[in-house]
């Protein structure tokens, strides 16, 4: 693997070839069906080959291509089961791994950013990366004061690669849409583009991570490693051990999955009101379950990667909690009024308030019950209901609008629910909403 940028023409060619590959496999599949092979067998084979090609290319290119793949990976639970199997392994690979940056490049970046004597800052430095992501990779080391640390090194040329990849993916977004039923891919790509400059700025990331580390210091449920040192495209933080969430998803016990899910929901809603920030990259590679010999209630969730955050000084917007409570109470008129007030329904659109409530209630079911069993089956049902062009939900959904100020909140919430469904976790979501979501608790529940 050479340096990340390679030649722009090479990266563009690889991405541009994806839809051509999809079309070629579809033609091949048609030929096999004409030749007498069962359609369902051919379809599974095509999905497997498509997954292999798509995520092999995304993983190799890193940059915006891999960032897009990671963002999509949390929605794997929405795929129909006959499709999800072939995709699951390929999607999971993108959550916590990518081809490593050459050692000579790592040494050069560290020398350029930390100085020619950079090795003196460390008692030990492992040149083999411990993890690799979309714009940088992490090396394990021992800081000069003896602390175990994670050294995050940004790939040279990461910014140009991110923008180039996302622009190219934007051009083929329509062809990628069928991968995730009920999800519009183009806004996701546009939103990822908007966040590029922030994610490339390790100084901003260091500030966000330190804010969380300070707030959650000695917290019984959440662990955030603090920042040790930051300069330019290098970020040094405390090392965090634990079971990667992807491993909990693939082989965790029921206790591990339930505890991880509860903590993930807790962090989603408690984080913004406690820190004024929303961690906006909730794919499994950014979380660790810290398991000890005690009962599951004492296990903690480690949180990594604060490169993308939403700044919410007052916590999550109060209208979200109020509208959610009113919907559960069945107050269709008030819910409709609030959605209009917040810009979810444009002034020119006329909707039946009861139809809006019917659209929302299945989605917000987890907030009604004392505890809710999240599952791939439940998420697939919701995705299919909204994606089916013949359904009232699909027709109504097309008339709703997503205000820019809610875009990132919406994506993070959907992504977190996707991970909860991958975990197959039973979660007391209502408890978290009552404690942390402004507006959700009614007069008798505060």
Query: 283-296, pLDDT tens digit by residue?
Result: 888 999 999 888 99
Over residues 59-70, mean pLDDT: 51
Beta strands in 194-306 (DSSP E): 222-223, 227-231, 234-238, 243-244, 277-279, 287-290, 300-303
pLDDT score, position 386: 82
Compare 395 and 194 and report the one with higher pLDDT: 395
Using alpha carbons, list the distances in angstroms from residue 123 to 106, 130, 140, 323, 424. Answer: 17, 17, 11, 54, 42
pLDDT score, position 192: 64
Residues 110-136: pLDDT tens digits? 999 999 999 999 999 999 999 876 678
Over residues 220-235, mean pLDDT: 96
- Flag whether pLDDT at 41 surpasses 70: no
**277 DSSP β-pair partners:** 311
- Flag whether pLDDT at 12 surpasses 70: no
pLDDT exceeding 90 applies to what percent of the chain? Answer: 50
C-alpha to C-alpha distance for 209 and 307, rounded to whole angstroms: 8
56 C-beta neighbours (distance < 10 Å), count? 13
Residue appearing with tokens 């959550």? 95
- Flag whether pLDDT at 34 surpasses 60: no
Average pLDDT in the chain: 79
Residues 411-439: pLDDT tens digits? 899 889 999 999 999 999 999 999 999 99
Q: Residue 20: exposed, middle, or buried by beta-carbon count in 10 A (0-12, 13-18, 19+)?
A: exposed
C-alpha to C-alpha distance for 191 and 408, rounded to whole angstroms: 8
Residue whose C-alpha is closest to residue 133's, from 306, 360, 271, 249: 306
Where residue 357 falls among pLDDT bands split at 50, 70, 90? Answer: very high
Q: What is the pTM of this model?
A: 0.77
Contact between 14 and 57 (Cβ < 8 Å):
yes
C-alpha to C-alpha distance for 399 and 390, rounded to whole angstroms: 15
Q: How far, in whole angstroms, is CA 392 from its chain's centroid?
A: 28
C-alpha to C-alpha distance for 115 and 149, rounded to whole angstroms: 18
Contact between 238 and 147 (Cβ < 8 Å):
yes
| Torsion sign, CA atoms 196, 198, 203, 204 | negative
- Flag whether pLDDT at 64 surpasses 90: no
| Lowest-pLDDT range of 35-39, 86-90, 201-205, 429-433 | 35-39
Residues 69-95: pLDDT tens digits? 555 554 555 555 555 555 555 555 544
Residue whose C-alpha is closest to residue 335's, from 355, 315, 363: 355
Compare 104 and 429 and report the one with higher pLDDT: 429
C-alpha to C-alpha distance for 223 and 219, rounded to whole angstroms: 7
pLDDT score, position 139: 95
Note every long-range contact of 267-272, with CB atoms under 8 Å and residues 24 or more positions apart, other chains counting: 267/221, 267/222, 267/301, 267/303, 268/412, 268/413, 268/416, 268/432, 269/316, 269/432, 269/433, 269/435, 269/436, 269/437, 270/222, 270/432, 270/435, 270/436, 271/212, 271/222, 272/310, 272/312, 272/315, 272/316
Domains of the chain: 8-96+161-196 (no CATH), 103-158+197-238 (3.30.200.20), 242-446 (no CATH)
Where residue 298 falls among pLDDT bands split at 50, 70, 90? Answer: very high
| Lowest-pLDDT range of 160-164, 341-345, 357-361, 362-366 | 160-164
Compare 164 and 394 and report the one with higher pLDDT: 394
pLDDT score, position 53: 56
Residues 239-249: pLDDT tens digits? 999 999 999 99
Secondary structure element (H or E) that encloses residue 441, with its range? none
Residues 366-414: pLDDT tens digits? 999 999 999 989 988 888 888 777 888 888 888 888 787 888 898 899 8
C-alpha to C-alpha distance for 236 and 230, rounded to whole angstroms: 6
Token readout for 231 is 């300069």
- Rounded to 5 degrees, φ, ψ at 324 are -65, -45
Compare 164 and 270 and report the one with higher pLDDT: 270
Contact between 432 and 270 (Cβ < 8 Å):
yes
pLDDT score, position 67: 53
């Amino acid at each position: 693997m050479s340096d990340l940028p390679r030649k722009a023409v090479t990266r563009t060619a690889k991405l541009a070839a994806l839809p051509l590959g999809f079309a070629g496999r579809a033609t091949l599949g048609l030929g096999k069906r004409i030749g007498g092979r069962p359609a369902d067998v051919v379809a599974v084979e095509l999905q497997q080959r498509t997954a292999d090609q798509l995520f092999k290319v995304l993983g190799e290119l890193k940059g915006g291509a891999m960032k897009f793949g990671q963002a999509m990976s949390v929605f794997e639970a929405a795929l129909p089961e006959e499709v999800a199997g072939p995709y699951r392994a390929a999607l999971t690979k993108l959550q916590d791994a990518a081809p490593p940056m050459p050692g000579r490049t790592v040494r050069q970046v560290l020398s350029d950013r930390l100085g020619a004597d950079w090795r003196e800052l460390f008692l030990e430095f492992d040149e083999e990366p411990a993890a690799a992501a979309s714009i940088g990779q992490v090396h394990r080391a021992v800081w000069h004061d003896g602390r175990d640390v994670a050294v995050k090194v940004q790939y040279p040329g990461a910014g140009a690669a991110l923008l180039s990849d996302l622009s190219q993916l934007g051009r083929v977004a329509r062809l990628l849409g069928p991968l995730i039923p009920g999800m519009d891919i183009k806004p996701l790509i546009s939103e990822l583009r908007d966040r590029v400059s922030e994610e490339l700025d390790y100084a901003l990331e260091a500030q966000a991570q330190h804010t969380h580390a300070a707030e959650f210091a000695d917290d019984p449920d959440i662990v955030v490693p603090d920042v040790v040192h930051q300069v330019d495209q290098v970020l040094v933080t405390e090392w965090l051990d634990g079971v990667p969430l992807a491993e909990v998803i693939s082989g965790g016990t029921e206790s591990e999955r339930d505890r991880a899910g509860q903590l993930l929901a807790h962090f989603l809603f408690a984080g913004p009101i406690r820190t004024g920030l929303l961690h906006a990259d909730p794919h499994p590679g950014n979380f660790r379950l810290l398991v000890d010999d005690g009962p599951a209630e004492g296990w903690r969730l480690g949180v990594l990667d604060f490169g993308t955050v939403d700044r919410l000084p007052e916590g999550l917007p109060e209208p979200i909690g109020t509208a959610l409570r009113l919907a559960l109470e069945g107050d269709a008129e008030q819910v409709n009024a609030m959605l209009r007030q917040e810009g979810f329904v444009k002034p020119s659109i006329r909707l039946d308030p009861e139809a809006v409530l019917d659209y929302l209630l299945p989605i917000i079911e987890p907030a009604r019950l004392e505890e809710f069993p999240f599952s791939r089956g439940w998420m697939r049902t919701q995705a299919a209901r909204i994606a089916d062009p013949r359904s009232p939900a699909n027709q109504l959904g097309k008339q709703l609008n997503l205000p820019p100020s809610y875009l990132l909140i919406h994506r993070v919430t959907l992504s977190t629910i996707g991970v909860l469904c991958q975990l197959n976790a039973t979660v007391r979501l209502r408890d978290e909403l009552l404690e942390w979501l402004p507006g959700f608790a009614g007069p008798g529940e505060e």
